[in-house]
Chain A
């Protein structure tokens, strides 16, 4: 099948957007629990390095993903303990987590700089065409002839969508984010909910990081995450805490991420460095747009960023 330029571009945008999608989904459920975690960048780095090292030494793709998942969860466990149990300021805890995660990845990864993901792991993460869906003209190739992690991200979107909008637990979670005192009075175990959601959120960030080091690059370099964790924090605002909209938001930013590279062949008179600014500049623009048209419907969870202290009720 002959792919058009546009199709190739959109197809690459999906791949570049997938790590953002995992991280954005992770931050959505974290913020729904009322916790602003600015440590995404750090957790993605932790997932990326641990996933890579496991893949490199064990040659097992599944084990690598599990390791990355646990590494992200471990990072968020530190954050959860500080913010939920010890009621520390959310912003500073998240920043500390990013500092720690950066050091963690630099430390463990130093011996692996420039090393490449083993062939069998790369093969395991090769493209698999889904029957029927993959044959849909135009979009089939873009969305349904991808690596298994992309399909995993679709599944996670659907699970989180059902969780947030169709289950009692999801309703409880939103109650905690909006009004923890009322949720507490209704007998919901706030600490447990916060811990579970923050941990799963961190684990998803870990998977997002692993996508970068195992599939997107696929080799180890210290700057593998390159600010994508921060873009994910902004994306959460952009997609108004909605997991389904997160797909579109992540792919839009995936597209911006590769735009500079793709435009090179058109011999434009814009230096590469300015095109590299695009995702960051676009993030600023969406932040401003989101703040200008802040409607009642799209507000962040009411208690976000405020440590909950029952005795202060």
Chain B
């Protein structure tokens, strides 16, 4: 027989090693699916890496994929710090992109810097307001925010579908359901061949890290997340902090939406969010809510998606395999937390008799 005891003093290095072993385990188990597709897992993984990093062009497209993932992860993790399960990143991205598109399509002739600034602000505010709705009900009636934010995703996607297929459908699209492209003034400028979203990401990583770790507001968010009661005793206004944090959380997701619409799609479409809201949840969790780590993990996830696209064309392996790997990595890394926090102790015979069962 055995029992389970808590263990302390696992060094960060050792914990990181455990997680690495977990990730390798996930890749090993995921290869079952590659075997089902009658392919050699080692070969597929190798060409996945090659497909992701093989050329400058590919690395560039990893970065483009990683930008929305990282910014959305920043946003999601502000809510997670508070133990508010914001699963609504997808909808907040969409609403942010919608706000930005509204501005871009209404004022196509505004000067570029001014137009982009207004688009970014509108995107932030729209995403933030969209997250405030569930936050308001959570504060007022303690309504379950997980499901609320999730349902808001579907509503946002239906809304954008309506715009794309009906209200905003481009008449010059020859019957093809798409929204008109933004004017060039509404396109994000490029630096080193990549839209400036990457600079925004790096700046945000630093700013958000300082905000969470070293500002009064950031500290308050952490305290509320640890214990609402402690926060109350300390005289903090729980509801106000939650509303502010959720506005920031949704706002960052909305900003990611603006960047996608302006920098990548050049317009709004139902695929603007492309699942970033969900992938960001996994990234935020794997990074243990640390913003700089999120940048790295988002880059790796971008590489995984990019590699997935590559192996689909090279091996006819469905791209969905990347979702399997993502889920598997999360399973394994979650599982390794157990071995970091607990140890299994065998119980000696005589002890067992005095014990239970």
Contacts and interface: CB of A to CB of B under 8 A. Distances in A.
A110 B143 CA distance: 38
Given A287-B144, A311-B3, A103 B323 contact: yes
A7 interface: no
Given A106-B318, A280-B155, A100 B166 contact: no
A38 B146 contact: yes
B334 A93 contact: yes
A287 B147 contact: yes
Interface in B143-164: 143-144, 146-148, 150-152, 154-155, 158-159, 161-162
Q: What is the interface of chain A mostly: helix, strand, loop, or mixed?
A: helix
A99 B137 contact: no
Nearest to B149: A284
B183 interface: no
Contacts of A227: 150, 154
Nearest to B281: A95
Contacts of B33: 107
B344 to A, nearest CB: 11
A28 interface: no
Interface of B: 3-6, 33, 36-37, 85, 87, 137, 141-144, 146-148, 150-152, 154-155, 158-159, 161-162, 165-166, 278, 281-282, 285, 318-328, 330-331, 334-335, 337-338, 342
A20 to B, nearest CB: 14
**Which 7 interchain pairs have the tightest Cβ spacing?**
A103-B323, A100-B327, A106-B320, A273-B162, A103-B324, A96-B330, A86-B338
A152 interface: no
Interface in A54-111: 78, 81-82, 86-89, 91-93, 95-97, 99-108, 110
B323 A288 contact: no
A124 interface: no
A271 interface: yes
A284 B148 contact: yes
A268 interface: no
Nearest to A93: B334
Contact of A99 (B3, B327, B338): B327
Given A82-B331, A96-B334, A283-B151, A102 B323 contact: yes
B330 A103 contact: no
A82 B36 CA distance: 25
Q: What is the interface of chain B mostly: helix, strand, loop, or mixed?
A: helix
A280 B282 contact: no
A103 B279 CA distance: 12
A46 to B, nearest CB: 11
Contacts of B278: 95, 99
Contacts, number: 143
A252 interface: no
Interface of A: 38, 42, 78, 81-82, 86-89, 91-93, 95-97, 99-108, 110, 227, 230, 233-234, 237, 271, 273-274, 276-277, 280-281, 283-284, 287-288, 290-292, 294, 309-312
Contacts of B150: 227, 230
Contact of B326 (A103, A271, A288): A103
Nearest to A42: B327
A260 to B, nearest CB: 10
Contact of B158 (A92, A93, A273, A287): A273
A264 to B, nearest CB: 14
Contacts of A312: 6
A230 B151 CA distance: 8
A175 to B, nearest CB: 17
A291 B322 contact: no
Given A280-B155, A292-B141, A86 B334 contact: yes
Nearest to B150: A230
B338 A88 contact: yes
Nearest to B308: A103
A288 to B, nearest CB: 5
A102 B142 CA distance: 30
A277 B141 contact: no
A280 B154 contact: yes
The winner among A96, A291, A312 for most chain B CB atoms within 10 A is A96
Contact of B165 (A82, A233, A273, A310): A273
Given A230-B151, A284-B152, 18 more contacts: A38-B146, A42-B327, A86-B338, A88-B335, A96-B282, A96-B334, A97-B327, A100-B323, A100-B326, A102-B327, A103-B324, A106-B318, A108-B36, A237-B144, A273-B162, A283-B147, A287-B147, A291-B144
Contacts of B335: 81-82, 86, 88
A42 B278 CA distance: 13
B326 A99 contact: yes
Nearest to A275: B158
B144 A99 contact: no
Given A86-B335, A311-B4, A287 B327 contact: no
A102 B279 CA distance: 12
A103 B327 contact: yes
A95 B323 contact: no
A123 B281 CA distance: 43
The winner among B36, B37, B151, B282 for most chain A CB atoms within 10 A is B151
B143 A288 contact: yes
A157 B182 CA distance: 54
Contact of B151 (A87, A110, A281, A292): A281
B158 A274 contact: yes
Nearest to B144: A287
A290 B144 CA distance: 9
Contacts of B323: 99-100, 102-104, 106-107
Contact of B320 (A92, A96, A107, A273): A107
